[in-house]
Chains A and B, each alone.
Chain A
Amino acid sequence: KAGVTQTPRYLIKTRGQQVTLSCSPISGHRSVSWYQQTPGQGLQFLFEYFSETQRNKGNFPGRFSGRQFSNSRSEMNVSTLELGDSALYLCASAEIGHEQYFGPGTRLTVT
């Protein structure tokens, strides 16, 4: 099976802009989770989607949002970008109750 894919791999945006990141899970996986990874805070949970519904949400401001489509692909959106949003954004897919598998991430740089 193909692994989790994330696009784009690298992105540079300026403060105030918005960005949309995409994640395609492993075939058959219906759960998709998003994480933010920074050197200072480590890996932090953003949200999890299952069957197009948000199941869990981390402690991030409302500028961070996501959605999942009927084919389990997921997108996350960050509006009004801030310098502190620069990070590696990771997507992980799983079958419910099983291990999660991570994609390579999208490296977002906000200038």
Chain B
Amino acid sequence: TQLLEQSPQFLSIQEGENLTVYCNSSSVFSSLQWYRQEPGEGPVLLVTVVTGGEVKKLKRLTFQFGDARKDSSLHITAAQPGDTGLYLCAGERDGQNFVFGPGTRLSVLP
């Protein structure tokens, strides 16, 4: 079983639509990161959230960390084809390695 679950697994939308992807766990994390990965490349860090209830915005992307620090969401407003990629969340537990979710593969069609 995965320590971190992500949903949906796949998402295909039209340019201009809004979307939300989720990252859930039964474990508490000291911090949680979101990455975007394009084919054949390594993941690129988008944001780190550390405080329960924290909301961070990065242009059209809004990240939220759950109050209990067990879950997170990523909301994209007015998606563009350049947002296409694999979105990964990764949780850090104190003194331990990062644990990654399986990812949400997003396709934004022009």
Contacts and interface: CB of A to CB of B under 8 A. Distances in A.
Contacts of B88: 43
A43 B100 contact: yes
A71 interface: no
Interface residues of A, number: 20
Nearest to A45: B97
Interface of A: 4, 33, 35, 42-45, 48, 56, 58, 90, 92, 99-105, 107
Given A43-B90, A44-B100, 17 more contacts: A42-B102, A42-B103, A43-B43, A43-B100, A45-B97, A45-B98, A45-B100, A48-B97, A56-B96, A56-B97, A90-B42, A100-B98, A102-B42, A102-B44, A103-B42, A104-B41, A104-B42
A56 B41 CA distance: 24
Nearest to B33: A99
B61 interface: no
Given A43-B88, A99-B33, A107 B96 contact: no
Contacts of B99: 45
A103 B41 CA distance: 8
